[in-house]
Structure 1
Amino acid sequence: MGAGQVVTVFGAYGHTGRFVVAELLERGFVPVLAGRDEGGLRALAESRPGLDTRQATVDDPVSLDRALAGADAVVNCAGPFATTAAPVIEAALRA
């Protein structure tokens, strides 16, 4: 992994997600903001101009596939992990 690579951050607008997005930007990566709450994504994108947003939910595999399309990696910051981990991992494997 190196600078310029695309990393989808699922749960980007949450407490941990915001830290991950900031760190990715600082290291030269291109974060894609993903999560279930379109309003939360929009608000974060307004504070980080130029970043792509992709609404997705763990109970909709097609939306997860769209959110992860073209990403070099994914970081799952959405909880609870008992609920979100498996669907996000499965989508990452399909991407």
Structure 2
Amino acid sequence: MQDIITEINSSRGSSFSVYPNPLKGEVYIDCKTEIPNASCEVFDLKGHLIAGNKSLSIKNTISFTSFPSGMYTIKVCDGNRVVIKKFLKL
């Protein structure tokens, strides 16, 4: 699957940035504005949900320190659009 652009812009003008890739310990999700219905989920390669956050603030961090090395998928949704990004944890 080809990676999808890591920023999305909704009609309300929200914007998300998801970084870094590859990562060693944490992934960061930054929102330009706080969106009450924004959420994120992290999946392993088998599609199992391993972490979720029902609401995102402007600066967000998800720790991958307890996860083994490998590929993961993060899904960020603002109610209008969805970003899906693959990450490599070293």
Q: Which has the higher strand share?
A: 2
Higher helix share: 1
TM-score where L is the length of structure 2: 0.28
